[in-house]
């Protein structure tokens, strides 16, 4: 009886396998093969677009370095000096805005740094815009402001009864106060940013002596880059942005995307552009594009660095990357026709639409995930689909090297960076599509958690709480685990039947997805 049951089961299994194989043969030629070939073609085109963009920016940077075209040579710059007759009135009135939201770990650092800026005390106003929902944190921030006020600092603590517009809403409301009318310039620092005391002395001369300049942007310096491998990977990606993308935009077009912090705006430029808008979650980029098409020029100072903190938990980093990928794609959708209709030159329109938005903010995210994590792995099942070596090996290698040269100290981590970036491309591609299609999470804004000073701090657990709570959702990430399983299966198939050695890459990439999927990346903070 058992033998009969076994034979029946085996026969049924063979029959099911045969049916699946038959269905695959029927679908493969008319449907799967054409679709995969189209996908390969589109990915190769996007790879070429990205490659040309990287080569172009590299050439520009090399030329800039060789000829030493620093902002001080491109624009008039003279240090500000005391005037015995005019006194402090020789210095323009400056507003410093610090938007906050439940920033318990870092509020003292940012307020202290802003209050320590070298500028005549009667010509500067520190404005703390506190949107905190935690009453305890609000009290702490207010007390800190009172403490600095008692030392003679002109500091204002401002709150509102809602969070409409998030950061953009807070900055917009901050500009409505009567005392702001006396200010000519506004410097903006997020809650974890700590400018050096000479920040205003180094940035304001560009705005004072060049009436066409509307924004001066400083570079970011990461205080916790060595905290873990994930922060080192972030440093590599952001260093390229600051050493290449921002530098090229400033030098060639006097335009780049405002980073939302560590920058100084001419208030008249901000107002002429229409002020802060909350139609997307990248209000800083929105303002920069509008101001640029009003004719204002931007200056980027790569040698002026402002200390800040990188997200050290994967959860915080993932939310940040969602915002940074979804927002630009959504802004591109909303501003495309606005840009087309402006009276700016065709060259500038092409630069902003094609280079700034389409290639860097959309193509870069989509091709990384679709090509390297979906299309290439899928071709192991269909050897009829050929991917040329220049598309699968040479171009990706050159792009990777050009990205990594911005952080020479981390070149030995290049393989880890490639694998981690491919993992993160899953979230970036998803967020980009949400932004383009205006999906459900298009306006999701979750403030990036900070740890304070870059030092990892375990959250304190009260005695009454007993043991630390482990929440499975905080540690396991289903999407990454699913992608890891898919790539692992593709790797085994290629090892058994393939001839192109893709399995080496597939096993490595699958391992990276599994590491992230099981939560072994970044710093893990347990919940109290």
pTM as predicted: 0.90
pLDDT for 74: 87
Q: Report the distance separating Cα 395 and Cα 410, nearest Å.
A: 21
What's the CATH code of the domain at 224? 3.90.550.10
Statement: residue 311 has pLDDT above 80: yes
User: How large is the angle between the packed helices 107-115 and 135-149, nearest 10 degrees?
Assistant: 20
Count of domains in the chain? 2
What would the pLDDT profile of 136-146 be if each residue is shown by its tens digit? Answer: 999 999 999 99
- CA 470 to CA 467: how far, in whole Å? 9
pLDDT of residue 451: 73
Q: What is the DSSP letter of 10?
A: H
pLDDT tens across 484-499, in order? 999 999 999 999 998 8
Average pLDDT estimate for 220-243: 94
Instruction: Specify the length of the chain in residues.
Output: 528
> Residues 130, 190, 239, 284: which is the catalytic one?
284
Name the active-site residue from 131, 192, 286, 494: 131
Q: Is 284 a catalytic residue?
A: yes
Verify that 513 and 397 share a domain, yes or no: yes
Same domain, yes or no: 111 and 227: yes
DSSP state of 210: -
Helix (H, G, I), strand (E, B) or coil at 83: strand
Region 518-525 average pLDDT = 81
Is pLDDT of 180 > 50?
yes
Domain end (from 312, 340, 356): 312
Respond yes or no: is residue 286 known to be catalytic.
Answer: no
Residue of higher predicted confidence among 80 and 140: 140
d(CA 505, CA 512): 11
Average pLDDT score over the chain: 89
Residues 326, 296 share a domain: no
User: C-alpha angle with apex 58: 213 to 311, nearest 5 degrees?
Assistant: 75
Among 295, 312, 329, give the residue marking a domain's end: 312
Q: Can you read off the two tokens belonging to residue 450?
A: 């900070």
Q: What confidence category does residue 24 fall into, taking pLDDT thresholds of 50, 70 and 90?
A: low
- Could you give the angle at the alpha carbon of 78 between the alpha carbons of 72 and 80, nearest 5°? 135
CA proximity to 53, closest of 402, 293, 394, 392: 402
Any bridge partners for residue 263, and if so which? 188, 217
* Region of poorest pLDDT, from 22-31, 181-190, 217-226, 417-426: 22-31
- End-of-domain residue from the set 265, 288, 312: 312
The pLDDT of 264-269, averaged and rounded, is 98
pLDDT the model gives residue 1: 52
Query: Inter-axis angle of helices 314-341 and 229-240, to 10 degrees?
Result: 20
Per-residue pLDDT at 463: 33
pLDDT (0 to 100) of residue 471: 53
Q: How far apart are CA 355 and CA 248, in angstroms?
A: 12
Contact (CB, 8 A) for 406 and 302:
no
The whole-number pLDDT of residue 407 equals 85
Q: Residue 223 is part of which domain span?
A: 87-312
Say yes or no: 199 and 274 in one domain: yes
Q: Are residues 140 and 194 in the same domain?
A: yes
CA dist 325 and 310 (Å) reads 17
Same domain for 192 and 208?
yes
249 is a domain residue: yes
Domain annotation covers residue 123: yes
Q: Would residue 20 be called left, alpha or beta, if left means φ above 0 and alpha means ψ between -120 and 50 degrees?
A: alpha
Percent of the chain scoring above 70 in pLDDT = 90
Q: Give the separation between CA 491 and CA 498, rounded to whole angstroms.
A: 9
**pLDDT computed for residue 465 by the predictor:** 40
Contact (Cβ atoms closer than 8 angstroms) between residue 256 and residue 266: no
| 301 in the same domain as 355 | no
- Residues 317, 290, single domain; the answer is no
> Based on the domain organization, do 52 and 184 belong to the same domain?
no
Same domain, 429 and 496: yes
Q: Is residue 74 part of a domain?
A: no
Any domain includes 13: no
In a domain, 363, yes or no: yes
């Amino acid at each position: 009886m058992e033998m009969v049951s076994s034979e029946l089961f085996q026969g049924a299994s063979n029959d099911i396998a045969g049916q699946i194989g038959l269905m695959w043969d029927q679908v493969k030629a008319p449907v799967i093969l054409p679709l995969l070939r189209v996908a390969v073609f589109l990915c190769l085109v996007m790879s070429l677009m990205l490659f040309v963009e990287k080569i172009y920016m590299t050439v520009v940077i090399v030329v800039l370095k060789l000829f030493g075209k620093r902002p001080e040579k491109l624009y008039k710059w003279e240090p500000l000096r005391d005037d015995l007759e005019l006194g402090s009135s020789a210095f323009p009135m400056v507003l410093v805005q610090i938007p906050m939201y439940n920033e318990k770990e870092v509020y003292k650092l940012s307020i202290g740094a802003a209050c320590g800026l070298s500028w005549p005390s009667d010509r500067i106003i520190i404005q703390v815009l506190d949107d905190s929902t935690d009453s305890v944190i609000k009290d702490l921030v207010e007390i800190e402001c009172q403490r600095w006020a008692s030392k003679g600092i002109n500091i204002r603590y401002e709150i509102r009864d809602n969070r409409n517009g998030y950061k953009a809403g807070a900055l917009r409301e901050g500009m409505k106060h009567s005392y702001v009318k006396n200010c000519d310039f506004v410097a903006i620092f997020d809650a974890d940013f700590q400018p050096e005391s000479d920040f205003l002395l180094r940035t304001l001369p560009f705005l004072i002596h060049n009436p066409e300049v509307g924004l001066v942007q400083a570079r970011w310096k990461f205080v916790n880059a060595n905290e873990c491998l994930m922060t080192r990977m972030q440093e590599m990606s952001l260093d390229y942005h600051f050493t290449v993308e921002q530098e090229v935009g400033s030098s060639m077009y006097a335009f780049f995307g405002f980073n939302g912090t560590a920058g100084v705006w001419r208030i008249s430029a901000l107002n002429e552009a229409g002020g802060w808008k909350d139609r997307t979650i990248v209000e800083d980029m929105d303002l920069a594009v509008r101001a640029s098409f009003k004719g204002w020029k931007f200056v980027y100072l790569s040698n002026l660095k402002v200390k800040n903190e990188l997200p050290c938990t994967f959860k915080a980093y993932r939310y940040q990357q969602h915002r940074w990928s979804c927002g630009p794609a959504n802004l591109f959708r909303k501003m495309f026709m606005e840009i087309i209709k402006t009276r700016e030159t065709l060259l500038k329109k092409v630069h902003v639409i094609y280079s700034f938005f389409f290639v860097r903010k959309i193509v870069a995210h989509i091709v990384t995930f679709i090509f390297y994590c979906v299309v290439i792995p899928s071709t192991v099942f269909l050897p009829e689909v050929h991917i040329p070596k220049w598309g699968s090996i040479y171009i990706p290698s050159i792009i990777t090297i050009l990205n990594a040269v911005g952080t020479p100290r981390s070149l030995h981590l290049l393989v880890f960076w490639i694998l981690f970036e491919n993992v993160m491309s899953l979230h970036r591609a998803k967020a980009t599509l949400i932004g383009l299609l205006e999906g459900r999470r298009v306006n999701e804004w979750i403030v990036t958690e900070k740890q304070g000073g870059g030092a990892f701090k375990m959250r304190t657990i009260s005695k009454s709480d007993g043991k630390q709570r482990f929440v499975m959702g905080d540690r396991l990430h289903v999407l990454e685990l699913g992608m890891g399983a898919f790539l692992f299966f593709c790797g085994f198939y290629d090892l058994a039947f393939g001839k192109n050695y893709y399995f080496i890459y597939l096993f490595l990439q699958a391992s990276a997805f599994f590491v992230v999927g099981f939560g072994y990346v970044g710093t893990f903070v347990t919940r109290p």
